[in-house]
Chains A and B, each alone.
Chain A
Amino acid sequence: QKEVEQDPGPLSVPEGAIVSLNCTYSNSAFQYFMWYRQYSRKGPELLMYTYSSGNKEDGRFTAQVDKSSKYISLFIRDSQPSDSATYLCAMSEGAQKLVFGQGTRLTINP
């Protein structure tokens, strides 16, 4: 069993839809939870960062962490074609032990 599981997709939704991306994990010691966005042939960029459990909102993006269920989510509201990318969840006890999910490839159709 992988330490972090993420459905690789691909996921295709119409413009304006609400998108839900999810990861599950097995290591209860993870404290830091991140979502990275990666455009094709580019390096990932940090999108959302959450410490421990709870919600965090930034514009159209909301990150949720449920440590009791070992489950994290990223919601994208009013999705735009520019949101089309691969979304990677990542989690850690510390940066040197960052563990990434496989990434979910998302396409927003105009």
Chain B
Amino acid sequence: DGGITQSPKYLFRKEGQNVTLSCEQNLNHDAMYWYRQDPGQGLRLIYYSQIVNDFQKGDIAEGYSVSREKKESFPLTVTSAQKNPTAFYLCASSISTDTGELFFGEGSRLTVL
């Protein structure tokens, strides 16, 4: 089945540690995205990538980093510089960057203790 796989589903980390969230897609989509979801705030764009080896900052990129070495993979690193990292992180992909029809993974819940 085609889709987007995020791992891990749940992650606990101590303050000051970097963590990397995995996102893999087999939909052959060019564009991939990372969103953060907090209660009452909707989804906010962290980073997006329209093509391999290229990515752009979204609205809340500070404290995060990404890479796009393969079309299928778009990992997100939450660094110790992110002041409030506890959140639900969603990876998405789209076949076109023109329409906004996104396919989402099931999300990763990060809790920083």
Contacts and interface: CB of A to CB of B under 8 A. Distances in A.
Interface residues of B, number: 29
Contacts of A103: 42
Contacts of B104: 36, 43-45
Interface stretch (A12-20, A56-64, A67-75, A87-95): A87-95
Given A96-B56, A98-B45, A46 B40 contact: no
Nearest to B93: A95
A101 B41 CA distance: 8
A95 B98 contact: yes
B43 A94 contact: no
B49 to A, nearest CB: 10
A42 B50 CA distance: 24
B97 A95 contact: yes
Interface string B79-113: 00000000000101010111111111111010000
A95 B94 contact: yes
Interface string A15-33: 0000000000000000010
Assign chain A's interface to a size class.
20 to 34
B40 A8 contact: yes
Contact of B42 (A42, A45, A101): A101
A95 B100 contact: yes
28 contacts: A6-B42, A41-B107, A42-B106, A42-B107, A43-B6, A43-B92, A43-B104, A43-B105, A44-B43, A44-B90, A45-B104, A46-B101, A46-B102, A88-B43, A91-B100, A94-B98, A94-B99, A94-B100, A95-B48, A95-B97, A95-B98, A95-B100, A96-B50, A98-B45, A100-B43, A101-B42, A102-B40, A102-B42
